[in-house]
Amino acid sequence: MKNQYKAIVGLGNPGANHYFDRHSIGFRVLDQIADELNANWKTSGDFEYALVSYQGLNIILAKPLTYMNNSGLVIPFLKKKGVEASQIIVVHDELELAFGKVAFKVGGSAKGHNGLRSIISHAGTDTFARIRYGIGRPEQKEDVPDFVLQPFSEPKNQVDNVISSAVQLLYSHIA
């Protein structure tokens, strides 16, 4: 029996100037889901959320607007809605996967990802699921902070195709 996921959290940095950054891919994946399911975003405090219905399941989409390092501040809102950490899927960029790869994973460490570190610290556990969107890794480790805050160098249609793959992977795990 599949876990009944009740929330999907997309990680990113707020503002139009960050929307196309590699680090904000979680926002773009959630925006595609919201578009496909005709959801409307609402703002509440430090996050945006939308309520969607997919194959009879009610799911909260949430985008923290606190910048990556404080993404976990969305967790208290989800807890108030009765959502446990094990019922959350977090969509995030992943340096350890080559561009074009998307993968599903449950639990694990933050591996240096500050957004995941914040989610773990607020959730009190690492039992949430993840959709990992591969962005590749720069050759030099010291280039990582600039790399994640830059737009993709790959053509837009390739980025959009991988976003669609991430959305389909999400749908397969929530239905």
Which residues are part of the catalytic machinery? 23
Query: Residue 162 has which token pair?
Result: 């991988």
Measured from the Cβ of residue 159, the count of other Cβ atoms closer than 10 Å reads: 21
Q: Is 7 left (phi over 0), alpha (psi -120 to 50) or beta?
A: beta
User: What are the C-alpha distances in Å from 47 to residues 44, 71, 91, 115, 148?
Assistant: 6, 9, 15, 14, 21
